[in-house]
Amino acid sequence: MSSELHYKSNVRDTMFQLFEVLEIQTTSLGKAPYAALDEATIREAVKASEKLCTAELQKSFAESDRVPLELDAEGNVKIPEGLRRGYEQFYDAQAHMLTVPEHMGGMGVPPSVGWATFEFTAGANAPLAFYLFGTFAARTIDRHGTDEQKRRFIPALLERRWGGSMVLTEPDAGSDVGAGRTRAKPGMGDVWEIEGTKRFITNGEFDVPENIIHMVLARREGAPGGTKGLSLFLVPKFWVNEDGSLGERNGVIVSKLEKKMGIKGSATCELVFGDGKPARGLLLGDVHDGIRQMFHVIEQARMAVGVKSMSTLSTAYKNALGYANERVQGPDLLRAADKTSPRVKILSHPDVRRMLMSQKAHAEGMRSLCLYTAWVQDQVEIAGGHGAKEADDLDKLNDMLLPLVKGYCSEKAYEQLSLSLQTYGGSGYCQDYPIEQYVRDQKIDTLYEGTTHIQALDLFFRKVAKDGGSTLTALLEQIEALAKSDLGGAALAEDRAALARALGDLKGIFGAMMGKVGESLYHVGFQGNRILAATAELVIGWLWVRQAVAAQRGLVARPEDAAFYQGKLAACRWWCKNVLPGLTLTRKLVEQSSLELMDLSDEAFG
């Protein structure tokens, strides 16, 4: 099999999640700001996106891994021809306008649909997906910029297909954004001059668009230390004149391309600003509010990473399933003693079925988590948008779910990809199949946009403890209501009981940790990742029971699709029997958390 045509979508599950579980046709569509959209329109948009990705965009997936990026002496990065072609095809299809709001000339689909279609792009060709950041840069400027900045940049970003990048990390600061030392000093008029070095900048330079708009965090002269002293600047590769025309090359240049384990086609750059030539920029919105503005960008990036992980696991599972259906090896286990027994396809072996169901339950469970979070974002917009009083509770719920999407999906997808690889045996280790590239391309997801433990600390301190646990409590009340209901009848009684037990365990986990915090915050350091995983697995368990209820309805309404719905019921039962019981162990581990490792001398680790 050629990995050129590697991508296997699961558009059937996407439609199920959107229209049969979340029921966006009544809960999101037809309401402002989505009043002009209906189910038929969205179904066609989702199908068109999936077709573009499967028919075209996936073609340069292997090429992006095999053909090296080229950095010349002037700091220009040449990307493989297939990625260039995919970039143009995406824009030619007007796919970038799907998520652009109506007032900007786009279709303005709700986040639930936007993230559903991003799954196809990221699963088909993750390096390409992250080159398409220019549209989000336009939306960021629309949200935070001045009228002059909107006029100057947005039309070009959307119509002339300019690129964009988010520029935070510095070599010495790493994840400690507040330690950044890149400086901004006033220049002529409203222009600022940026000086400093930034590292690990995704797609900070590539040779397809005529211009790239960098969104750069820098500290203005005289500003205090820490994150509060940071401002966000728009720094173009080529200066943009007031009439929108391009001026001279700006003083920002690539000094190095990182050599990486995976997503090799994505240009990860070290950028130097103001070395020998001024790097001119404009203060976004003319306000020194950089960290709040950038958190809007960071949240988008963290959601994208979680969806990318889920989409990679989903196509890995579909590929492994296809292989298991074709590969014939060994007799049935019950007839192994009979040397004349016929060989069977490996899908018949219990261990292979175990691995496949684990992949299915996790991939589709992660999809439910990502799309439920996106649906909450729909409701935020319907309630008036971020910052609106009516949207406050929904905003907080979205914020709490984001570390689950990013942290859990990225960690668990990597773990499950080992099962995808194992399904192939030794063949999966070779480039004959795409799984070895999936493993390498996905691992970065646990690291960038905040490592898993950063997500865990964010969940515990900023999303749970900060509001006294009220947002978490409200979500747990919804879970408890389903666990205590008779939804699904006797057929789902065992699943609801497992959900109730896991709910009790999670409450015990948080209760125990609140007591431990009084002793030392180090306990959160030791147990934070476990708490994040347990929270995600309970929420996904709740969403799996919701999927099972919808599947029961589907069996009655569409019996011709029985196999799909039976698979849903089986995966729900598998999650409740194989994942949710793990919360009991996590509770015990948290309850007995100790500080012995902190008392161990550094030399003892030698």
Q: Which overall architecture, per CATH, does domain 162-288 show?
A: Beta Barrel (2.40)
Looking at residue 4, its pLDDT comes to 67
Statement: residue 425 has pLDDT above 80: yes
Looking at residue 175, its pLDDT comes to 75
Contacts of 361 (CB under 8 A, 6+ apart): 544, 571, 574, 575, 578, 579
Contacts of 409 (CB under 8 A, 6+ apart): 305, 306, 307, 309, 310, 366, 369, 370, 445
Q: How does residue 172 score in pLDDT terms, banded at 50, 70 and 90?
A: confident
**Average of per-residue pLDDT across 174-202:** 91
Statement: residue 426 has pLDDT above 50: yes
For the question of residue 449 being annotated catalytic, the response is yes
Looking at residue 3, its pLDDT comes to 53
Tell me: the pLDDT tens digits for 317-355?
999 999 999 999 999 999 988 989 999 999 999 999 999
Which of 1.10.540.10, 3.90.1150.10, 1.10.10.10, 3.30.70.20 would CATH assign to domain 3-142? 1.10.540.10
Mean pLDDT in the chain?
A: 96
Name the residue ranges covered by the structural domains of the chain: 3-142, 162-288, 294-333+341-591
CA distance 322 to 1: 11
Contacts of 332 (CB under 8 A, 6+ apart): 341, 344, 348
Tell me: the pLDDT tens digits for 489-535?
999 999 999 999 999 999 999 999 999 999 999 999 999 999 999 99
Q: Are 302 and 446 in contact (CB under 8 A)?
A: no
Q: Are 209 and 220 in contact (CB under 8 A)?
A: no
CA distance 509 to 27: 33
Statement: residue 173 has pLDDT above 80: no
Looking at residue 1, its pLDDT comes to 43
Statement: residue 383 has pLDDT above 60: yes
- Classify 481 as helix, strand or coil: helix
- Classify 466 as helix, strand or coil: helix
**Average of per-residue pLDDT across 126-138:** 96
Q: What is the pairing mode between strands 252-257 and 268-273?
A: antiparallel
**Average of per-residue pLDDT across 72-79:** 95
**Average of per-residue pLDDT across 558-586:** 98
CA distance 394 to 568: 28
Looking at residue 520, its pLDDT comes to 97
Tell me: the pLDDT tens digits for 407-424?
999 999 999 999 999 999
DSSP string computed for 372-427: HHHHHHHHHHHTTSTT-GGGHHHHHHHHHHHHIIIIIHHHHHHHHHHHHHHHHGGG
Looking at residue 27, its pLDDT comes to 98
Which of 3.50.30.30, 3.90.650.10, 1.20.140.10, 3.40.50.300 would CATH assign to domain 294-333+341-591? 1.20.140.10
Joined together, the tokens standing for residue 308 give 């990318």
Statement: residue 605 has pLDDT above 90: yes
- With a threshold of 0.95, does the pTM exceed it? yes
**Average of per-residue pLDDT across 285-311:** 93
CA distance 180 to 167: 11
Number of neighbours of residue 341 by Cβ within 10 angstroms: 13
CA distances from 16 to 180, 213, 562 (A): 45, 38, 13
Q: State the Cα torsion 307-312-317-320 to the nearest 10°.
A: 180
Number of neighbours of residue 74 by Cβ within 10 angstroms: 8
Statement: residue 306 has pLDDT above 50: yes
> Which residue among the candidates 205, 411, 449, 537 is catalytic per the annotation?
449
Q: What is the pairing mode between strands 230-236 and 246-249?
A: unpaired
